[in-house]
Amino acid sequence: MNAIPAAVQQRAAELRAAIEHHNYLYYVLDAPEIPDAEYDRLFSELLELEYRYPHLVTADSPTRRVGGTALERFAPVRHAVPMLSIRTETDSGPDGARSFDARVRRELGLGPEAPGVEYAAELKFDGLAINLRYEQGVLVQAATRGDGETGEDVTQNVRTVGAVPLRLRSIDAPVLEVRGEIYMRRDAFDRLNERQRAAGEKTFVNPRNAAAGSIRQLDPAIAARRPLSFFAYGLGAVDGWTVPPTHSALLDALQSAGLPVCTERAVVQGADGLVAFHQRIAAQRDALPFDIDGVVYKVNSLALQQRLGFVTREPKWAVAHKYPAQEQLTVVRAIDIQVGRTGKLTPVAKLEPVFVGGVTVTNATLHNEDEVRRKDVRIGDTVIVRRAGDVIPEVVGVVLERRPADAGAPFDLHAQLNGQCPVCGSAIAREEDAADWHCTGGLYCPAQRKNAILHFAGRRAMDIEGLGERLVDQLVDGGLVHDVADLYGLRTGQLEVLERMGEKSACNLIAAISRSRDTTLARFLFALGIPDVGEATAAALAAYFGTLEALQQAAMEYAAALTVAGDDTAAARARRLKEQALQQVTDVGPEVAARVAAFFTEPHNLTVIQRLRAAGVKWPETVMERGAQPLAGQTFVLTGTLQSMSRDQAKERLLALGAKVAGSVSKKTDYVVAGAEAGSKLTKAQELGVPVLDEATLVEMLRTGD
């Protein structure tokens, strides 16, 4: 045996104390004082010391949490004190609390005049019960509840749970068994499922199952990677420790000993106190970072608990008061596809009505096609439906064991809709890498019409003053307007019959609509509401193409290039698309280009655009002829950052119009175009007296050649 230098022994002790202290701050007080990286540094230093001096290792060293070999099976553990269950109050209203209080009072022989019984009220955590056995303050065994008499030895796995102290602070009694719940926080659960999904492993339906599955992992290395938490709520066997006189004082003592105790607990008086607690927690339930399925009331005085005793296997001094379940099983009758205001297509499960989260649910969102496929939801399946708070109900997962032989085929959105929007029949599309399918008939589709009209009328679009949400609702609901082109056919007489619309405001609106006819191509493109085409992209498209016809032409060419050729590889296709004019525009990547192409190839949209132009919507047209070289003989120098196009694009377009583009400024330079943050070239131009153009002037020049 290597002698361990005293200094090393001392350092190891210091490190253990420091790590335990920071664990306590982190898990119990929820108030860490050092960054994770610093904690990791202390931890690695201890690991390193223990590696060099294996005899330094103690059972309670924080480094002993990870590791251990995989088991064949868990050894049975007979509980020194049976792990009882708790009576559940079925009435989830206030009467549930009142009838518990009435029973307690009756059992204690308290008359109506006697003061209220004092209770400890706490949360009912939705995880799995665990018994932690500490001997001389050191964790020696952790066991599941099992049948209450005999559980399973899951010590190796429980050691990996950071929130479970391996050594108690200031308690070194021969035996102290602490009982509590191992659970998983919702955020940890979501991250775990994401990780499982990425690794192609099975996902868990809820945090409870994930926690239970993790604790019952035979390989502790896997359990160690599962983010579990723990709350203490009671005692098992005790030897050599004075138990405090009340349950609330007991929880305080456990917390001081380094065990995490939930802060959402209270000491209350009588039935009214219980009801108030039940209601307060109900209001907070959805904001808690973990799942609870109710609250637990315990008579606070341990002396009274003893007097009350047990019936069969349940204490008479405690009760679980549940909340309506947030998850239920039901059967999928159909999978419908809904069209949202933006054209997004959302699959929705039509369910056998089921009471969940306090309401009867008949529809649950399935989010998008990938989600349905990942969960493999089919018609006829039994599914878990979750509704938490005001969140829309969702299908959490399928109970595969219950899939009937005649269950539907795997979900295929495009096939189910025959490629057409269920509302308007326009083509549906889904860009590569995007999660959602959408209807491309943005200008025409009734599901999108109100949104489309509001957007069209917006200040930065066609700028139709006074055409707000209320009015759009009335115009559409009253059947006066079906699409944006209808706006230009409105007459004052039709408007006056609308609610809160006098002759004067009707006239004002008609005038505003009329004024909007004179616009710019950039505004018009923005007003069309092409998905992903914001103001800047619309301006870039307008600057680059100059005319609507040129843009439409490019959109058609892009759509053709999108069609997959027989021997197309992804790379070849991407290269081909990159050469398309649409993708030459600043900020227009393949996704936006595909959106633009889909929009301008949907015939319904083209009809509406034609009608808009027929109604007199117009903008200054480019006066240049194709192939004209109005800038021949002129030399330009570009400097600084342009907003509507890149310098390369500007250069290309200048060259196309016959200009020369030079790299440096000289006396021969005709114009310097200065974008944002132009530097020395701008200074040089000013010194030489070369005319300097701003971006707007350049854009105008590119458009008119003048």
| Dihedral in degrees, nearest 10, Cα atoms 612, 436, 389, 215 | -170
Position among 84, 121, 143, 398 found at the interface with ligand IVH (CB under 6 A): 84
Interacting positions 270-299 with ligand IVH (CB under 6 A): 296
Q: Is 125 an interacting residue with respect to ligand IVH (CB under 6 A)?
A: yes
Stretch that binds ligand IVH, among 81-89, 112-120, 158-166, 281-289 (CB under 6 A): 81-89
Give me the count of residues in the chain.
706
The site string for ligand IVH over 312-341 (x = CB under 6 A, - otherwise) reads: ---x--x-----------------------
Residue (56 or 120) nearer to ligand IVH, CB: 120
Please name the helix (run of DSSP H) or strand (run of DSSP E) that holds residue 398, with its range, or none: strand 394-398
Of 120-128, 353-361, 548-556, 648-656: span binding ligand IVH (CB under 6 A): 120-128
* Residue 86 is a binding residue for ligand IVH (CB under 6 A): yes
Which residue, 264 or 336, has its beta carbon nearer to ligand IVH?
264
181 versus 486: smaller Cβ distance to ligand IVH: 181
| Contact stretch for ligand IVH (CB under 6 A) within 7-15, 82-90, 325-333, 339-347 | 82-90
- Residue holding tokens 């309401």? 359
Kindly indicate which of the ranges 57-65, 122-130, 365-373, 551-559 contains the residues binding ligand IVH, using the contact rule CB under 6 A.
122-130
Cβ(237)–Cβ(143) below 8 Å: no
The answer to whether the beta carbons of residues 605 and 529 sit under 8 Å apart is no
> Counting contacts by CB under 6 A, is residue 124 touching ligand IVH?
yes
51 CB-near residues (< 8 Å, 6+ apart): none
Of 268 and 650, which has the nearer Cβ to ligand IVH?
A: 268
Measured from the CB of residue 318, what is the shortest distance to ligand IVH in angstroms? 5
Q: Give the nearer residue to ligand IVH in terms of CB position, either 50 or 122.
A: 122
Identify whether the C-beta of residue 123 lies closer than 8 Å to the C-beta of residue 263: no
d(CA 348, CA 372): 10
Q: Is 119 helix (H, G, I), strand (E, B) or coil?
A: strand
Does the protein bind ligand IVH through residue 596 (CB under 6 A)? Answer: no
For the CB of residue 38, give the shortest distance to ligand IVH in the complex, in Å: 34
Asked if 481 interacts with ligand IVH (CB under 6 A), we say: no
Nearest to 193 by CA among 375, 36, 346, 436: 375
- Region of 35-43, 62-70, 119-127, 299-307 interacting with ligand IVH (CB under 6 A): 119-127
> CA triplet 137, 139, 143: central angle to 5 degrees?
135
Nearest distance from C-beta of residue 406 to ligand IVH, angstroms:
38
How many CB atoms are located within 10 Å of the residue 70 CB?
Answer: 11
**Calpha distance 539→529 (Å, rounded):** 13
124 is catalytic: yes
CB atoms within 10 A of CB 307: 14
Q: Which of 234, 347, 393, 441 binds ligand IVH (CB under 6 A)?
A: 234
Find the radius of gyration of the CA atoms of the chain: 36
Of the candidate spans 2-10, 84-92, 449-457, 459-467, the one that interacts with ligand IVH by CB under 6 A turns out to be 84-92
250-253 own/partner pairs: CB under 8 Å, 24+ apart: 250/302, 251/120, 251/122
CA distance 408 to 372: 13
Q: Contact at 8 Å (CB) between 165 and 254?
A: no
Judged by CB under 6 A, does residue 164 bind ligand IVH?
Answer: no
Q: Does position 129 bind ligand IVH by CB under 6 A?
A: yes
Q: Is 188 in the site for ligand IVH (CB under 6 A)?
A: no
Q: What is the DSSP letter of 214?
A: H
Least Cβ distance, residue 284 to ligand IVH (angstroms): 16
Q: Output 101 or 181, the one with its CB closest to ligand IVH.
A: 181
- Per CB under 6 A, contacts with ligand IVH among 168-187 are 181
Q: What are phi and psi of 472, to 5 degrees?
A: -60, -45
438: left (phi > 0), else alpha (psi -120 to 50), else beta? beta
Write down the catalytic residue from 124, 298, 322, 375: 124
CB 480, min distance to ligand IVH, A: 59
Residues of span 408-467 touching ligand IVH by CB under 6 A: none
Q: How far apart are CA 258 and CA 272, in angstroms?
A: 33
CB of 294 to ligand IVH, least distance (A): 8
Contact between 122 and ligand IVH per CB under 6 A: yes
Measure Cα distances from 167 to 25, 62, 134, 164, 597 in Å.
Answer: 15, 9, 8, 9, 66
Token pair of 678 as six digits: 């132009």
Q: Which of 458, 456, 432 is nearest to 442 (CA)?
A: 456
Q: Least distance in Å: CB of 199 to ligand IVH?
A: 30
Q: Which residue is nearest to ligand IVH (CB)?
A: 129
3-state secondary structure of 637: strand
Which CB atom, from 292 or from 540, has the smaller least distance to ligand IVH? 292
Size of the site for ligand IVH (CB under 6 A): 14
**Beta pairing partners, 568:** none
Minimum CB separation of residue 138 from ligand IVH in Å reads: 24
Which residue, 254 or 540, has its beta carbon nearer to ligand IVH?
254
d(CA 487, CA 618): 15
Count Cα neighbours of 152 within 13 Å in the Cβ-side half-sphere: 15
Nearest distance, CB of residue 254 and ligand IVH, angstroms: 12
Q: How far is the CB of 85 from ligand IVH (least distance, A)?
A: 4
Catalytic residues: 124
Which spans of this chain sit near ligand IVH (rule: CB under 6 A)?
Answer: 84-86, 122-125, 129, 181, 233-234, 296, 315, 318
